[in-house]
Amino acid sequence: MKITVRAFADYREIIGKEMELIDPEGKTIRELLAELGDRYPKLRSEMFTPAGELKEFINIFINGRNIAFLNDMATPLADGDIVALFPPVAGG
Amino acid sequence: MVRRNETMAEYNIDRYQRQITLLGDEGQERLRRARVLVAGVGGLGTIVAADLAAAGMGFLRLADNDRVELSNLNRQLLFRPDDIGREKSLAAMERLRILNPEIQVEGIHQTIDNETIHELVKDIDLIVDAMDNFAARFILNKAAFSRRLPLIHGAVRGFFGQATTLIPEKTGCLQCFFTGNPPREIIPILGATCGVIGSVQATETIKVLTGRGEPLANRLFFWDGRTGEGTVIDTKRNPRCIICGSG
């Protein structure tokens, strides 16, 4: 299974623009982010509270859909999925 | 408080010569007839409004409840130091009137809420989302989708910005993609970031109104000024969206 992770803004500074994960250990977005957090502790502290909860308003899209409207952190991953991570951008 | 300029100079087509080669006479005529609401006259709204006024948009309504502050002047290019304390919508209206006396501009000093939105969008063809918070954006979104009006979304923070074009029945709406209202904070913003995203929004507005080009429909443009890179993410409707789907 191959998953592509595309990072934006603050997260791009930490993990780079794009990475491919071949056969990630986990099968859900939660497990994928945990694996990324192990590799990049700074990403974990940017995205998660000390209690391990995803911080509010962070946008995680799988194939163009926000996981908040899928199965949230339990959303399963499939071969070829593109995961996009970007922080809230709200100013005007 | 509503003020409008009623004294319109004649619409001189020669003024738009350099873009008519791009949009055609018919495209320019569509802009002349178009009525656009620019919601928010801050960092994004001032850029979008100036671009659209110069391009000959026939009618611009500018809505904002804020007054000009000194700290706005790093990015809100329509305002000058002597505007400090004035209503943004009215100061911007005056400035646009000088920039292009051939179009009609209306400034409305008002908070956009679930009540006021109805009057603001009543006779409008397209809404530009230049707000600074998602609570107000969702009000615009709901109005746009219930009235089937295109909504041109833009938002900025620091070196970063995003924009997408939302078209009822063709794309998802803002609530298909974004969840909540991040707390209002003092958001770092570079004027030049507003320039990028505001100009993308103005381009999208002109494309949607004239039918030229390919709008950012079902696509989210993300601008990273830190690295100087733009990226487009394909987006998909939420079929169970509370606003544009089955709920």
Condensed to tens digits (0 to 9), the pLDDT of residues A77-87 reads: 999 999 999 99
Predicted confidence band at A35 (pLDDT cuts at 50, 70, 90)?
A: very high
Q: Do B182 and A92 touch (CB under 8 A)?
A: no
How confident is the model over B69-97, as pLDDT tens digits? 999 999 999 999 999 999 999 999 999 99
Q: How far apart are CA B71 and CA B153, in angstroms?
A: 24
Q: Do B133 and A90 touch (CB under 8 A)?
A: yes
Chain B residue with the nearest C-alpha to that of A56? B182
Q: Do A92 and B40 touch (CB under 8 A)?
A: yes
Predicted confidence band at B53 (pLDDT cuts at 50, 70, 90)?
A: very high
Tell me phi and psi for residue A3, to 5 degrees.
Answer: -120, 135
Helix (H, G, I), strand (E, B) or coil at B100: coil
Helix (H, G, I), strand (E, B) or coil at B41: coil
Domain B2-234, what fold? Rossmann fold (3.40.50)
Determine the distance in angstroms separating the CA of A38 from the nearest CA of chain B, rounded to an integer. 26
Residues in chain A: 92
A50 interface with B at CB cutoff 8 Å: no
- The amino acid that residue B100 corresponds to is N
Of B156, B182, B222, the CB nearest to A92: B156
pLDDT of B180 reads 80
How confident is the model over B150-172, as pLDDT tens digits? 999 999 999 999 999 999 999 99
- Average pLDDT value over all residues in chain B: 95
Helix (H, G, I), strand (E, B) or coil at A23: coil
Helix (H, G, I), strand (E, B) or coil at B58: coil
How confident is the model over A42-64, as pLDDT tens digits? 999 999 999 999 998 999 999 99
pLDDT of B5 reads 65
Greatest distance between any 2 Cα atoms in chain B: 50
Tokens of A18: 């794009």
Other C-beta atoms closer than 10 Å to the C-beta of A23 total: 8
pLDDT of residue B179 exceeding 60: yes
pLDDT of B185 reads 74
Pick the CATH number of A2-86 from 3.30.56.10, 3.10.20.30, 3.40.50.12280, 2.40.160.20: 3.10.20.30
Q: Do B179 and A86 touch (CB under 8 A)?
A: no
Determine the distance in angstroms separating the CA of B222 from the nearest CA of chain A, rounded to an integer. 8
Q: Do B156 and A9 touch (CB under 8 A)?
A: no
pLDDT of B232 reads 96
Q: Residue ranges per domain, chain A?
A: 2-86
CB pairs under 8 A between A and B: 87
pLDDT of B145 reads 98
Q: How far apart are CA B186 and CA B72, in angstroms?
A: 12
Taking the CA atoms of B167, B168, B172 and B174 in sequence, report the sign of the dihedral they define. positive
Q: Do B132 and A92 touch (CB under 8 A)?
A: yes
pTM: 0.96
Q: How far apart are CA B200 and CA B54, in angstroms?
A: 15
Do residues B128 and B48 lie in contact, with contact meaning Cβ atoms separated by under 8 Å? Answer: yes
pLDDT of residue A38 exceeding 80: yes
Predicted confidence band at B133 (pLDDT cuts at 50, 70, 90)?
A: very high
ipTM for the predicted complex: 0.92
Q: Do B179 and A13 touch (CB under 8 A)?
A: no
- The amino acid that residue B221 corresponds to is F
pLDDT of B181 reads 81
Residues of chain A neighbouring B182 (CB-CB closer than 8 A): 56-57, 88, 90
Residue whose entry in the numeric block shows the structure tokens 């502050």: B69
